[in-house]
Amino acid sequence: MPSAEIARIWLFAPVRREDREWGTAVVARRGAGDRVRVYTASYTLVIRGRERGQGTVALQEVAESPAAVVDQVIRGVQERAGEADPPVEIGAGVWFEEAHDEPAAQG
C-alpha cells in the first residue's frame, strides 16, 4: 500500500514465549470519505536457537469502517486481551522517510 495512504498505526506490545516473539500492529489506510480500510500486520521472530533471526510477516485486510469506530475497536481489543497498557499509536512518518501531508487523525 502507498505509505501516503496510511492514516494511523497502533503497535501492540510484543509477546515473548520460550524461543519466539510475536507482535501485532493495526494499520488504518485512508479510504473514501471518513472511512478507513483496516489491516493487521503481524510477525513471528525466532529469538533463540539455531534459527535465531528468522521470522515471518503477514499483512491482512480485516475491515472497512468509519474512522471513529476504529478507536473503539482498538480499545475493545486491549480490554479483551487483558492488556494494562493501550497500544502505542505512531505516525506513519516514523516508519517512512518521505513526508506525509496529514498528521495522524485523533479520535
Domain ranges of the chain: 3-94
75-106 residue pLDDT tens:
887 777 777 777 888 877 777 765 544 444 44
* Spatial distance between the Cα atoms of 41 and 45, rounded to a whole number of angstroms: 13
- Report the pLDDT value the prediction gives residue 37, as an integer from 0 to 100: 94
36-80 residue pLDDT tens:
999 999 999 999 999 999 999 999 999 999 988 988 888 887 777
- Report the pLDDT value the prediction gives residue 101, as an integer from 0 to 100: 47
Cα separations in angstroms, 82 against 59, 86, 87, 103: 24, 10, 12, 29
* Spatial distance between the Cα atoms of 32 and 80, rounded to a whole number of angstroms: 30
Which residue bears the cell 533471526? 53
